[in-house]
């Protein structure tokens, strides 16, 4: 039997991939899925429709790797993206229930992937993505995994100029600093990988939404972050596609550039940072 490899089909037929991308979004915007997201189905039906919804999202998630998102490509998808965000917001208190957790983490991961496409950020803002994310990271009773994903979305939005404007008009810096006091500082000595990632993405996001001179963290508190940023830049730069662990090489470099306006940080990065495999490898 021949095996159908969708990845190779999409990779070799970008026009077909783009057509399938939009048709999959049409399915996601069907009356059945919209009614499900609006909570109009009885509880006994919802798990089944949830699986269908996640299956459609999975196809879009796969295809997005093989197409280039251009300006306004997601403009017509704003209503369904907003509905997905509303669904997450309405169901977030059920995060620890197994079936709901699986659905929520799938949808929020999908939102993160869409926001990772820089050209999609204006549409994500129109869908009120930035408003929801700032609301979520302001809450004290959300699970860390939920907040981790929310921070990644916030960072993706902050990579776009319009994203920075939207975030700063919504008090983003103060919300981030509140998150730091509530979540990061009490766990700054925690070596768990989850906390390390949260601290890194927090620092990257704050650097993007604030002016370099305003972002004056103490060097001692930044050493670990600077090492992580340097390591991320090296790992990305040595990969075939300039990506590693979800980051493109430009992302840590942009943050390092903003931080290195401070002389003590620049000195640390140039002379003291402990980074593995700093010597460039031949590809």
> Tens of pLDDT along 214-273?
666 666 667 788 888 888 888 888 887 888 777 888 888 888 888 888 788 888 888 877
Q: Taking all residues of the chain, what is their mean pLDDT, rounded to a whole number?
A: 87
Which tokens is 95 given? 């995060």
Residue 164 clears pLDDT 60, i.e. is over it: yes
Residue 98 clears pLDDT 70, i.e. is over it: yes
First to last CA, the chain: 37
- pLDDT per position as a tens digit, 105-126: 999 999 999 999 999 999 999 9
- Judged by DSSP in three states, 198 sits in helix
Residues 15-36, mean pLDDT to the nearest whole number? 95
Residue 29 clears pLDDT 90, i.e. is over it: yes
* ∠ Cα 104 102 184 (to 5°): 65
User: How much of the chain, in percent, has pLDDT values that exceed 70?
Assistant: 92
Give me the half-sphere count of Cα atoms (radius 13 Å) on the Cβ side of residue 167.
30
Considering 130-134, 182-186, 249-253, the range whose residues carry the highest mean pLDDT is 130-134
pLDDT of residue 237: 83
Is the whole model's pTM more than 0.85, yes or no? Answer: yes
């Amino acid at each position: 039997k021949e095996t159908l490899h969708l990845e190779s089909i999409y990779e070799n037929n970008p026009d077909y991939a783009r057509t399938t991308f939009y048709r999959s979004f049409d399915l996601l915007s069907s009356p059945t899925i919209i009614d499900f997201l609006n909570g109009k189905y009885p509880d006994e039906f919802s798990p089944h429709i949830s699986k269908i919804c996640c299956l459609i999202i999975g196809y879009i998630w796969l295809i997005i790797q093989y197409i280039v998102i251009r300006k306004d490509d997601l403009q017509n998808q704003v209503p369904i993206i907003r509905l997905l965000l509303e669904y997450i917001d309405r169901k977030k208190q059920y995060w620890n229930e197994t079936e709901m957790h699986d659905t929520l983490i799938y949808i929020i991961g999908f939102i993160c992937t869409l926001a990772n496409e820089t050209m999609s950020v204006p549409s994500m803002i129109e869908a009120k993505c930035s408003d929801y994310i700032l609301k979520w990271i302001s809450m004290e009773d959300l699970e860390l995994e939920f907040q981790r994903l929310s921070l990644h979305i916030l960072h993706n939005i902050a990579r776009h100029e319009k994203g920075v404007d939207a975030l700063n008009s919504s008090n983003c810096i103060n919300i981030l600093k509140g998150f730091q006091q509530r979540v990061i500082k009490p766990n700054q000595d925690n070596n768990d990988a989850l906390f390390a990632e949260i601290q890194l993405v927090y620092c990257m996001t704050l650097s993007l939404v604030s002016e370099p001179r305003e972002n004056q963290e103490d060097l001692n508190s930044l050493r670990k972050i600077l090492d992580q940023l340097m390591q991320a830049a090296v790992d990305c730069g040595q990969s075939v596609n300039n990506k590693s662990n979800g980051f493109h090489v430009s992302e840590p470099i942009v943050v390092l550039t903003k931080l290195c306006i401070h002389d003590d940080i620049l000195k640390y990065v140039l002379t003291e940072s402990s980074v593995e495999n700093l010597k460039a490898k031949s590809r």
